[in-house]
Homo-oligomer: A and B are copies of this chain.
Amino acid sequence: MENITNYIQENKERLINELIELLKIPSVSADSAYSQDVIDTSEAVKQSLEKAGCDKVEICETDGYPIVYAEKIIDPNLPTVLVYGHYDVQPPDPIELWTSPPFEPVIKKTDIHPEGAIFARGACDDKGQMYMHVKAFEYMVQSKTLPCNVKFMIEGEEEVGSVNLKSFVENNAAKLKNDVILISDTGMISNQQPSITTGLRGLSYVEVEVTGPNRDLHSGLYGGAVANPINILSKMIASLHDENNRITIPGFYDKVEELSLKERAEMAKAPFDIEEYKKALDLKDVYGEEGYVTNERNAIRPTLDVNGIWGGYIGQGAKTVIPSKAFAKISMRLVPNQDWEEITELFTKHFIAIAPKAVTVKVTPHHGGQGYVTPIDSIGYKAANMAYTETFGIPAIPVRSGGSIPIVALFEKELKSKTILMGFGLDSDAIHSPNEHFGIFNYLKGIETIPLFYNYFVELSK
């Protein structure tokens, strides 16, 4: 398909600069200080879809940030692809660790990205990967090669749990009707080895508050005589894992699907070097559930991580205080069949149960979502694999990802169609971390590969 490669070469600079403009808007959905920027971003996405050639583009208001919907229906009898993506981004904290400002995109070369990568919050997750679809669509329209109908649903609350997407999907099932859902919000093994994500973990995210005395106390006058909320919170968090690093919440593992040794052997075929992994993270050793290897621990096993903790005096110097309260943000990654609402309940019940009488505990659920596994014999999977094979010269490997895109399970339930996760990012892109980036190679390769998926999907659907 030479045309697309020519198109990319001729428009390379524009394709990159348009994405850079989008990355300049700090659309941090978790922090209300950025709310106007998030809204401005939805407007920018709307305009880009209009320019790309959609017939109908709408900003759909929700109780939170708007969802941008767009479509181009060329023939009701042809298949329809629904593209999902999100225009919101993670908070940039800790900001001091960025080598360049998170919302002033710059292109820098790295060992993995000799052609350069765009450094900015959201470069990969998900503005960059979402925008690949807009540009691939633009090409198909301009070259008159669009083989089917297309719908876009780009939301602004993915990083805060897609809280308003559920009702939107439920209330717009007809409008969103499609034959396959296409999402680029995951990664692939390497720039030499494409992969397709066939499994995702679910998520339950809660915030806990432990209260001891009704006011901060002098640790000399009260130390040893009253429960210190920080010491207690630490004890409670510590008790959530046993000596084998298994989670101790009663019932937590009841519905966990145990993979067969054959399936685990299949997974083990994906190229992975534990020494490289440790070296890349400066780790003396890995750490996790007994009886599972690293690529199983972060993919097919559920986890419990504290994502944030705070309490007492955290300023400069020393303050001899026993604080009244201590807090933590805790998230659990879930595997298919674990229900996130049930797990949130089990956690809440257990966490309150293990609190000593000397403190009071409050648990506030933030959000969550179900895990997901997709079959590799579907038309959608085959079309994606054929597209990768053509542009990378080597077939894609199916992999289970530890990440969560809660809405995938929701889509299958409400829209009755399969989702194909065509990710073009790399683990080393540092999404959710300082210095997030997205390779120029990956961005352009995505734009090149996506139109092929459309062609093969229509072909195989005949």
B-contacting residues of A (Cβ < 8 Å)? 29-32, 90-91, 93-94, 97, 159-161, 187, 201, 203, 205, 207, 212-228, 230-231, 233-235, 237-239, 241, 281-289, 294-295, 297-298, 301-323, 326-329, 331, 333, 356-358, 360, 366-367, 401-404, 427, 430-435
Say yes or no: A284 contacts B360, CB within 8 Å: yes
Additional A-B contacts beyond A223-B303, A225-B286, A320-B404 (16; CB < 8 A): A30-B315, A31-B317, A218-B432, A219-B303, A220-B401, A221-B401, A221-B427, A223-B305, A224-B289, A230-B307, A231-B237, A233-B234, A284-B358, A308-B313, A318-B367, A320-B331
Give the CA-CA distance A427 to B225 in the complex, in Å: 14
Known: A226-B286, A283-B358. A314 touches B318 (CB 8 A): no
Task: Please give, as numbers and ranges, the residues of chain B lying within 8 Å of A289 by CB-CB distance.
Answer: 224
Contact of A333 among B91, B224, B241, B433 (CB under 8 A): B224
Evaluate contact between A217 and B432: CB separation under 8 angstroms. yes
Expressed in whole angstroms, the Cα–Cα distance for A308 and B224 within the complex equals 16
Question: Can you spell out 21 A-B residue pairs with CB atoms less than 8 angstroms apart?
Answer: A30-B315, A31-B315, A160-B318, A215-B433, A215-B435, A224-B302, A225-B286, A225-B295, A225-B402, A226-B286, A227-B286, A230-B237, A234-B237, A234-B238, A237-B238, A238-B238, A284-B357, A285-B357, A287-B358, A309-B312, A309-B314
| Chain B residues, CB < 8 A from A331 | 219, 223, 318, 320
B31 and A316 contact, CB distance less than 8 A: yes
Cβ–Cβ contact A319 & B432, under 8 A: yes
Q: A219 CA to B404 CA in the complex, in Å?
A: 10
Bound CA–CA A323/B201 (angstroms): 20
Q: Are A287 and B220 closer than 8 Å at their CB atoms? A: no
Give complex CA distance A237, B304 in Å.
Answer: 18
- Determine whether the beta carbon of B329 is less than 8 Å from that of A312: yes
Q: A160-B317, A308-B312 are in contact. Are A223 and B333 (CB under 8 A)?
A: yes
Nearest Cβ distance between residue A111 and chain B, in whole angstroms?
15
Q: State the CA gap A326–B187 with chains docked (Å).
A: 28
Inter-chain contact A306/B312, CB cutoff 8 Å: yes
Pick from B213, B222, B402: contact of A220, CB under 8 Å: B402
What are the nearest 3 A-B pairs in CB distance?
A: A220-B403, A30-B317, A224-B303
Task: Return A199 CB to nearest CB of chain B, in Å.
Answer: 12
Interchain CA distance A303-B223 in the complex, whole Å: 6
Given A216-B432, A309-B312, A313-B91, does the pair A221, B403 have CB atoms closer than 8 Å? yes
A308 and B311 form a contact (CB under 8 A): yes
Closest Cβ of chain B to A260, distance in Å, is: 20
Given contacts A230-B306, A433-B216, contact A318 B287 (CB under 8 A): no
A442 to chain B, nearest CB (A): 16
- Shortest Cβ distance from residue A410 to the other chain B in the assembled complex, whole angstroms: 17
CB pair B91–A315 under 8 Å, yes or no, is: yes
Interface pair A205/B318, CB less than 8 Å apart: yes
CA distance A30 to B359 in the complex (A): 29
B320 touches A225 (CB 8 A): no
Complexed CA–CA distance, A314 and B94 (Å) = 10
Chain B residue with minimal CB distance to A312?
A: B308
Cα distance A212–B329 when bound, in Å?
Answer: 18
Task: Pick the residue among B93, B216, B306 that contacts A434 (CB under 8 A).
Answer: B216
Asked whether, in the complex, the Cβ of B288 is within 8 Å of the Cβ of A224, the reply is: yes
Instruction: Please measure, in the bound complex, the distance between the C-alpha atom of A238 and the C-alpha atom of B230, giving whole angstroms.
Output: 10
For A360, give the chain B residue with the smallest CB separation.
B284
Given contacts A93-B319, A237-B231, contact A311 B309 (CB under 8 A): yes
In the bound assembly, the distance between CA atoms of A458 and B238 in angstroms comes to: 59
Taking the closest CB of chain B, its distance from the CB of A370, in whole angstroms, is: 14
A203 contact set on B, CB distance < 8 A: 220, 320
